[in-house]
Amino acid sequence: MINASSAAGNKAPVYSLVIPIFNEEAVLPLLVRRITALLDKLDAGAEAIFVDDGSRDTSVIFLRGMATSDPRFRLIELSRNFGHQIAITAGMDAAAGDAVIVMDADLQDPPEVVLDLIAKWKEGYEIVYARRTKREGETLFKRASASLFYRALEQMTSVTIPRDVGDFRLVGRKALDTFKQMPERDRFVRGMFGWMGFKQTAVLFERPERAAGETKYPFWKMVRLAVHGVISFSDKPLRLALWAGLAISGFAALLGVYALFSWMFTSGVVHGWTSTVVIISFLSGINLFMTGIIGLYVGGIHAEVKRRPLYVVDRLTGFEEAVAAMRNAEAPKDRMLAARERRLG
**Which residues are near ligand UDP by CB under 6 A?**
20-22, 24, 53, 81, 83-84, 87, 104-106, 108, 210, 215-217
- Interaction partner, residue 120 (Mg ion, ligand UDP, none; CB < 5-8 Å by kind): none
Q: From Mg ion, ligand UDP, none, which one binds at residue 92 (CB under 5 to 8 Å depending on kind)? A: none
Whole-number Å distance between alpha carbons of 141 and 220: 13
Q: Give 269's contacts (C-beta < 8 A, 6+ positions apart).
A: 262
Q: Residue 81 touches which of ligand UDP, Mg ion, none (CB < 5 to 8 A by kind)? A: ligand UDP
Q: Decide which of ligand UDP, Mg ion, none touches 237; Cβ closer than 5 to 8 Å per partner kind.
A: none
Query: Please, what sign has the CA dihedral across residues 319, 66, 18, 174?
Result: positive
Element (H, E) at 234: none
**Nearer to ligand UDP among residue 88 and residue 203 (C-beta):** 88
In whole angstroms, the minimum distance from the beta carbon of 108 to ligand UDP comes to 5
Considering only residues 30 to 59 of the shown chain, the ones binding Mg ion according to CB under 5 A are none
24 binds, among Mg ion, ligand UDP, none (CB under 5 to 8 A by kind): ligand UDP
Residue 169: name the closest of 334, 322, 25, 18 by CA.
18
Smallest distance from the beta carbon of 104 to Mg ion, in angstroms? 5
Q: What distance in Å separates the CA atoms of residue 334 and residue 110, rounded to the nearest whole number?
A: 30
Question: Which of residues 24 and 93 has its CB atom nearest to ligand UDP in the complex?
Answer: 24
Q: Closest by alpha carbon to 154, among 219, 84, 244, 236?
A: 236
If we measure between CA atoms, which residue out of 276, 273, 308 comes closest to residue 82? 308
Q: How far is the CB of 216 from ligand UDP (least distance, A)?
A: 3
Tell me how far, at minimum, the Cβ of 105 lies from ligand UDP, in Å. Answer: 3
Give the footprint of Mg ion on residues 95-154 (CB under 5 A): 104, 106, 108
Shortest CA distance to 36 belongs to which of 48, 45, 26? 48
Write down the least CB distance from residue 217 to ligand UDP, Å: 4
C-alpha distances in Å from residue 295, one per residue of 238, 245, 304 = 10, 16, 14
Contacted by 84, from Mg ion, ligand UDP, none: CB < 5 to 8 Å by type: ligand UDP
The Cα 50–Cα 105 span in angstroms is 9
For residue 95, the minimal CB distance to Mg ion (Å) is 21
Q: Which is nearer to ligand UDP, 210 or 340 (CB)?
A: 210
22 binds, among ligand UDP, Mg ion, none (CB under 5 to 8 A by kind): ligand UDP
Which of helix, strand or coil describes residue 93?
helix
Q: For the chain, how far is it from start to end, CA to CA, in angstroms?
A: 30
- 17 vs 290, beta carbon nearer Mg ion: 17
Binding site for Mg ion (CB under 5 A): 104, 106, 108
